[in-house]
Chains A and B, each alone.
Chain A
Amino acid sequence: MRIRRSMVLTVLITIITAVLLSSCAGGKDRSKTLVIYNWGEYMSRESDTYTLYGKDYEITDVIEDFKAKYPEYDVVYSTYDDNEKMYPMIDKESFDIIIPSDYMVVRLLKENKLQKLDMSKLPNVEKYMDQSLASIRFDPDEAISNQVYDYAAPYMYCTVGLIYNRDELGQLTDTDPAAVWDILFDTSWENRIGMYNSMRESIGASLNYLGYSLNTVAAAELEEAKNLLIEQRKSVKPIVGIDDLKDKYVSGELVAGIAWSGDHVVCQQKLQDGGQDPEMLQYILPQGSNMSIDMMCIPENAENVEAAHAFIDFMYEPEIALKNAVYVGYSSPHTEVKQQLPIEITSNTSYYPDAETMESLELYFSSEEIDTTYDKIWQTVLAN
């Protein structure tokens, strides 16, 4: 019951803070305010000590750290839980920092909704960014692919795999997607499978299971993936959510599900906090699954570009990046952080894919055709 109570409390606090913050923002000078729009539970906002594989790490609220270093700025912080929910909001309000996933960065880039980063103001990014990420293909169009790092600085990256309860499923080692994802469609786990309420992850896992590309536009392949998901909704009855799923894996309510690698780390942390064995929840990355990079960007209509650059560079300071990486649990694109984290994490190819694994993974591509066909499929799946 503890978990649930803390959740209710979180909701309450969020509502109150949101109301307070929004009333503050109205009255204050916008040039002294930095407005950040980020994924939920995706930045260290608390003080605590985390233990990873026997190593202790001090966590602090990085926004408070930022305000301590730049007292001239007020920070307004709000969150979303889906790229598609963030997308319409950036037209309605002016944010200085957004942290969308790669395919959304490409979409925003194509629509001219991002500002070019001034690299002279980002020395830490130049110094510490992991160069193994430099070769990633973001778009079928090479010209666009090559532009991405001019507009966006990697924040965290992760892979999409299967989180599962080792006590019930045993240790999985076969990384063949047909074997891994099979659990999602197994009717003996009725009501105990978790799925993200997110279009690309759901359709992607289904396509990967069937052996197709995550970016396919072939009607027959998509039809097959769609029918598989509809069948799953009826027979397996998965629980659909985002942040609320984590507590359900920890409590044992859910036995397995689609998960971003970082969510797995958070779940293990929660198990440890609850005095349980963190190894109960395992994570496996199937071949050909998705890798995604969330990136810090400055929207075209940002009003405080100066503070936005300061913030991006601040997030690349080794000490801050480490705290944040430990808290969030996703893989860090920061070379110094990779040195500081336990070797158990950085040598695990499910978290930090090696060249070979990296080769097999796909990013989500975004195009008019992909966006509308996938949206249509997702609507149909939801309507069942």
Chain B
Amino acid sequence: MRMQKLAWPYILWMLVFTIAPLMLVAYYAFTSYDSSGNIYFTFEGFKSILSMESTVALDFLGLNSLFGIDLQVPIYINVFAKSLSLALVSTLICLLLGYPAAYILAQRSRKKQGSSFLLFMFVLPMWMNALLRTYAWLALLEPNGIINSFLSIFNVGPIQFLYNDFGIGLGMVYNYLPFMVLPIHSVLLKIDRSVVEAAEDLGADSRQTFARVIFPLSMPGIFSGINMVFMPAMTTFLIPDLLGGGRYLLIGNAIERQYMVSRDYTVGSALSIMLLVFVLASLRVLTRYEQDNSGGGVLG
């Protein structure tokens, strides 16, 4: 009973700063003003997002730019698809880089081999403002920057690192990698040592132990890692603005533009709702998996 009372401040906080703004966004998404300033209910926002009036070639995972397929879709669908493909690829790279890192970290923690220092090194950059961290990449990667100057010693380059998918992807992986490593690390740490010993006793070699015991048990960490990387990667507008040379319009920039520049609250809110529904749907899929897996995790 006592604990429930303690939750009230947070519930209040959520009502004021989460639920109320969401209601406002929903309200704006379905209303507009006529010429005499009266509010009316409308689907205009969603209609204009999906309108085929102005279309571009869909570029989901390089469909147009790499494979040359010309599939005309409404402009916001393409903006959405581009954000989604960048976020998916960045999340995948984070996972491929982050899992081994988390695994090594966890092993070191068990053996007490300076893992806290390594962990510290992972978290250290996060103490700095994301804007400055991203600015630093500009200095490193620009055509006359540090990396290209170094490469020019060997007569390589200058390589165009910036203002393309590579630059943005790199920025995202760099900024979000810790969010992948930390949850996986903490789940790996919690795996009962005796489970691994049991697998070994029953004759599993180290590869089998990993593939059939450790990896499945670490699934909840992977899912929350994906959760924590994919969502911000999908919605960021700072990274594409800086590392994309200003020529990338991703879903985050598009929403910002609707509110700040076009002043079309209806379309801006409709876009936000669309993004929100998508994020909620993918969250649901992920938590479903997570629950299934923690069910399987009773094994230990």
Interfacial residues, chain A to chain B (CB-CB below 8 A) = 1, 4-5, 7-8, 11-12, 82, 84-85, 87-88, 191, 195, 197, 230, 233, 237-241, 251-253, 375-376, 379-380, 382-384
Contact = CB atoms under 8 A, between A and B. Distances in A.
A88 B247 CA distance: 22
- The secondary-structure label for the interface of chain A is helix
Given A8-B135, A253-B142, A253-B144, A383 B245 contact: no
Interface in B94-132: 131-132
A240 B76 contact: no
A1 B146 contact: yes
Interface stretch (B9-17, B168-176, B257-265): B257-265
B226 interface: no
A239 B247 contact: yes
B105 to A, nearest CB: 31
A191 B75 CA distance: 24
B163 interface: yes
B168 to A, nearest CB: 14
Interface string B130-170: 01100110110011111000000000000010011000000
Contact of A375 (B57, B245, B262): B262
B45 to A, nearest CB: 14
Nearest to A4: B139
A213 B290 CA distance: 60
Given A191-B163, A379-B75, A239 B138 contact: no
Interface residues of B, number: 33
B77 to A, nearest CB: 9
A240 B56 contact: no
Contacts of A252: 144
B36 to A, nearest CB: 15
A362 to B, nearest CB: 23
B139 A11 contact: no
A383 B78 contact: yes
B257 to A, nearest CB: 8
Given A4-B139, A240-B245, A241-B245, A85 B260 contact: yes
Contacts of A5: 139
B135 A11 contact: yes
A364 to B, nearest CB: 16
Contact of B143 (A7, A197, A253): A253
Interface in B178-222: none
A12 B133 CA distance: 12
A233 B254 CA distance: 17
Contacts of B54: 376, 379-380
B166 to A, nearest CB: 12
In the A-B complex, the 5 residue pairs with the smallest Cβ-Cβ separation, listed nearest first, are: A240-B246, A383-B75, A382-B249, A4-B139, A240-B247
